[in-house]
A and B are shown apart, each in its own frame.
Chain A
Amino acid sequence: MTLNKGIRFVQGNEAIVEGAIAAGARFYAGYPITPSTEIAEVASIRLPQEEGMYIQMEDELGSIAAVIGASLSGKKSFTATSGPGLSLMAENLGVAIMGEVPCVLVDVQRSGPSTGLATKPAQGDVMQSRWGTHGDHGIIVLSPSSVQDCFDITIEAFNFAERYRTPVIILADAIIGHLKEKAIFRDLKADEIISRKKPEVNNSDYKPFDFDEEGIAPLATYGSEYILRISGSTHDEKGFPCSRPDNADKFVRHYTDKIEKNNKKIIITRKYNLEDAEYVIIAFGASARSALGALEIAKNRGLKVGLLQLITIWPFAAKEVREICNRSKAVIVPEMNLGQIIGEVKKENSFGIPIVGVNKVNSEMITPYDILEKIEEVAKCL
């Protein structure tokens, strides 16, 4: 199908679906929740057009379960939800981590906690996306800040999921999900689409969890020539339960290591005016748009302000942030929560510079002036 290709004026949520389809996704299971619902609606139109499937499950627990199952049957799969739904998916997200199942979860964040302000934006799920499921593990979380990002980053999310055999979370928000602007839905070249590594050994030698130096084990598909055993219980290389301490130690470390080991390839950032910046904003998602606005105004006011935009939120861009802390006068972290990513920034500040948050949880977005005021306030003190 080519009917949705080209230059479009669309919502972020729709671009996510088109990005998923472009990346090869052919299965969606979800449960409606504001502000992600358009993803479900567009998926229900678009997937069957591409000979894929949309299914609306009875809840979010069933949704992510079906996504995991479908992925193992060989279909690139995704679901979309918002904070409360991500909470419900948390347990089975752990199955995708333990079973090392490629899949993509979109969280279009809204104001919380609990039902909160269901239609209003927030960025309060930074830590839920990192630690929502219990136990030690690594996770990849990407955050779009434009409709074009929604298309491009969704493709990246599927590629990371397939490449590293892991669930990937797209942390959007109600502003980006509902924003309409121009985006280009391009045709992808074959080498822009990554699919999971398939086993090449003899049938009887296949071990679904026998990972290589990079931390990746080839993944067979149900129905193929290989017998595939997947388990959310602590298992050995073959997928059989195994409670030996050395085995548990090996695999729990592996779930963190396989992401950390590859973090250079996973961490995506955008750098604006950093070369001579005295003050640096570190931002993601909708707040990064406001930060870009702040850069323009700052220039007019004679302030040297730069921006590090985090596309990859997890694993955290520790090296880049450390370098910024080393050569700036102060770092400003705007986020629509009471300070979640700022904690990670502070961990990298061995240099004693001020790290200052701009935080809003009243459901209104952070404006460029909110950020600028804070920079000027900090500048006066230095």
Chain B
Amino acid sequence: MSLMNYDDYLVKEKLPLFWCAGCGNGNVLGALVRSFARLQLDKNKTVVVTGIGCWGKADDYISTNTFHGTHGRALGFATGIKLANPELKVVVLMGDGDGATIGGNHLIHAARRNVDLTVILVNNLNYGMTGGQYSSTTPENSYTTTSPYSHVEDGFDLCRLVEGAGGTFVARSTVYNIIELQNLITEALNKKGFSFVEAISPCPTHYGRLNGKKTAPEMLNWIKENTITIKQAEKLNDEEKKDKFITGKFVDIDKDDYSTKYEKIIEIAKNS
């Protein structure tokens, strides 16, 4: 078989992308399909599972097997898909509202169970699809269409959440740092176990517009200015780190995934 190019993983007749000008989703999609090509993933053995939201539309453009389910439940569907056929490469695309707010419980437990899934969570700090309401990752004091007087809640650090829950690979980068992001996605896809990459992504249409960053360059610059590496973060106290996007690899460990462990259960059960 000849080498697959990145665009072999795209459904080209569905282009152009439907996302707003300045949205980061197209960049993450590009990083994802380039990673697929890098690893020469077999399209028939790959399933892309999406939730609902702007990033949940990504499967419309992907030419592998796909499953597009309900808001917040992508990891439930993905768990069944993977456990019923461990040979499959199962990639889960979720947003911050989808994957970490309504679907937060599934995120915790899929990580804890160490189901061999790769999650690419695009965090654009708000609910883009419904018009810019606050999500669990919206930073405190920022404005959204449902925090018109500024937001009272703390934003959720999803990498720390997944680390605490037991993920084997946990990393964060941003659309501004697209090469780093792509490399982390490639590594995550290659990792056996629950791997999680958070991509900080600009939403100039909603989040940017209400927070003084109306254009895509302004919003990207704001992400750039608020991004620090894990090493830089080590020198800062909690107050200084608040609302910074800390990028890099937080966890990279090896342990048996759920399917591997359940094989042993089957052996015990058959001999009982």
> Which single member of B14, B67, B109, B268 contacts A62 (CB below 8 Å)?
B109
A224 within 8 A of partner (CB): yes
Residue of B nearest to A233 (CB): B68
Task: Name B84's contact: one of A69, A95, A99, A230 (CB within 8 Å).
Answer: A69
Q: Which residues of A contact B (CB under 8 A)?
A: 27, 29, 45, 48-49, 51, 53, 55, 57-59, 61-75, 77, 91-92, 94-95, 99, 221-233, 239-241
Q: Which residues in chain B, 23-79, are within 8 Å of chain A measured between CB atoms?
A: 43-45, 47, 49, 57, 59-60, 63-70, 72-73, 75-79
Instruction: For chain B, give the interface size range.
Output: 35 or more
Q: Is the CB of B269 within 8 A of A73?
A: no
Assuming the contacts A223-B44, A223-B88, A227-B63, asked whether A48 and B76 have C-beta atoms less than 8 A apart, the reply is no
Q: State whether B88 touches A222 (Cβ < 8 A).
A: yes
Q: Does B44 contact A240, Cβ atoms closer than 8 Å?
A: no
CB distance A53 to B68 under 8 Å?
A: no
Q: Is the interface of B mostly helix, strand, loop or mixed?
A: helix
Task: Provide the bound-state CA to CA distance between A241 and B45, in Å.
Answer: 22
Q: Is the CB of B67 within 8 A of A69?
A: yes
Q: CA A59 – CA B268 in complex, angstroms?
A: 27
Which residue of A45, A63, A66, A239 is within 8 Å of B83 (Cβ)?
A66
Give the distance to chain B from A84, nearest Cβ to Cβ, in Å.
Answer: 17
The 8 closest A-B pairs by CB, nearest first: A69-B80, A65-B76, A66-B80, A48-B269, A73-B84, A70-B84, A70-B80, A62-B76
A130 to chain B, nearest CB (A): 20
Complex Cα distance, B11 from A357, in Å, reads: 57
**Among A48, A66, A239, which residue has the most Cβ atoms of chain B within 10 A?**
A66
Q: How far is the CA of A58 from the CA of B67 in the complex (A)?
A: 21
Q: Are A49 and B106 in contact (CB under 8 A)?
A: no
Residues on B with beta carbons closer than 8 Å to the beta carbon of A94 = 70
Known: A48-B269, A58-B105. A73 touches B63 (CB 8 A): no
> B76's contact among A61, A99, A228, by CB below 8 Å, is which?
A61
Number of A-B contacts (CB under 8 A): 144
Contact between B272 and A49 (Cβ–Cβ < 8 Å)? yes
A95 to B73, CA, bound (A): 11
Q: How far is the CB of A346 from chain B (nearest CB, A)?
A: 35
Nearest opposing residue in chain A for B79, CB measure? A66
Listed by A's residue number, 23 A-B pairs whose Cβ atoms lie within 8 Å are A48-B262, A49-B269, A53-B83, A55-B83, A57-B76, A57-B109, A58-B106, A59-B105, A62-B79, A66-B76, A66-B77, A66-B79, A66-B83, A69-B80, A70-B81, A73-B82, A73-B85, A73-B88, A77-B84, A95-B69, A221-B85, A223-B85, A228-B65
In the complex the two chains form, is A73's CB within 8 Å of B80's CB? yes
Hey, which chain B residues are within 8 Å of A224, CB to CB? 44
Q: Contact between A69 and B70 (Cβ–Cβ < 8 Å)?
A: no
A229:B73 contact, CB within 8 angstroms: no
For the complex formed, measure the closest distance between the CB of B68 and the CB atoms of chain A, giving whole angstroms. 4
Chain B residues whose C-beta falls within 8 Å of the C-beta of A61 in the assembled complex: 72-73, 76, 106
Q: How far in angstroms is the closest Cβ of chain B from A133?
A: 11
The chain A residue with its CB closest to the CB of B270 is A49
Residues of B87-130 contacting chain A, CB below 8 A? 87-88, 105-106, 108-109
From A67, A77, A232, B69 is in contact (CB under 8 Å) with A232
Give CA–CA (A45, B105) in the complex, Å.
Answer: 26
Asked if B265 is an interface residue, CB under 8 A from chain A, the answer is yes
Tell me whether B77 and A68 are in contact (CB under 8 A). Answer: yes
Q: Is the CB of A222 within 8 A of B68?
A: no
